[in-house]
Structure 1
Amino acid sequence: MTREPVAATEVFKALGDPIRWNIVQQMAQQEELACSVLEDTLPVSKPTISYHTKILTQAGLIEVRKRGRNYFYSLRREVLRSLMDEMWLLAPGPRLVVDGTATGPSSADRPALKAAVGDDTARPAALLTW
C-alpha cells in the first residue's frame, strides 16, 4: 500500500487543536492506543473523539485499525520525523544525532558517558551536528 505524501500545512492544522494535540501525545507514549482509552482520558464525547481522529487520519498523522467493534490508533512517527526535517531546513542549527540519525530522544534514551577523570557519575551524552 503506497501512501500519499503528507503536506506539512495539513499536519500543522491538525496539531493546532488542543484535543488533537493531547491525542497525539497519548499515542506517542504507546505503539497502539485503543479508542476506549481516549474516551476515558479526554473531556469530550465519543462523536467528538471520532471527529478529531478523522482529522488526524486525513492529515496522515495516525493510522486506524478496527478489530470487531473496537478501534485502535497508532501514530505515524515517520510523518513527524519528516516534518521535523522540513522545519530544520528552514532554521538549520545544531541537531542531536544518535546512532547516525538526527533525532531528539529524551535524556533517558541517550547513552551515558562519564564526564571527566575521577567523576563516576554517568550523564546522558549527545552529539550535536549541522
Structure 2
Amino acid sequence: MDDRLKGLKKSMDASTFSQLNFTEQHRKGIRDKISKSDDSEEDILLAVMQLLVYEKTGYELVNFLRGRGIRKFEDNEGSLYALLHKLEQDGSLQSGWNESTIKYYQLNNKGRKLLRKTEKQSTTKRFNRKGLVEG
C-alpha cells in the first residue's frame, strides 16, 4: 500500500501540482497562520458560551471547540473545567448531573444576556480592526 501511495504522490506532483508556484511571501503567510494557533481569551470565551446555549458535557465542548479550530483544551481539559466553574460561580451557567454521573453545562438567562453583549462587542471590535467602522 505504501508504494502505491508513493506512486500516486509522484503522479500528482508531475501532473496536478506541476503548475502550482508559491511565492516566499505566500509560504511565510501560511507558516504564520499555522504557528498563530493561539486564540484570544475573548474568542475562546465567546465560542464556549455560544456552544453552551444548548446543554453539553465538557467532553462534547472540547470536540465542538476543536471543530471550530480551538485546540487549547485538547491537552489541558482542566483549564476548560476551570473556565466552566468560573462561569458557574459568576451565575452565568447552570450545571447538573444525569443518572450516569455525567455533568452537563448550559447557559442560564444571565449567561444568554452576557453572550448577546459579548457577541455585539466582538462584532464591533472586528469591524473596527478591519477599518470598516470609524471609531
TM-score (norm: length of structure 1): 0.43
Structure ID, larger Rg:
2
Name the structure with the higher helix share.
2
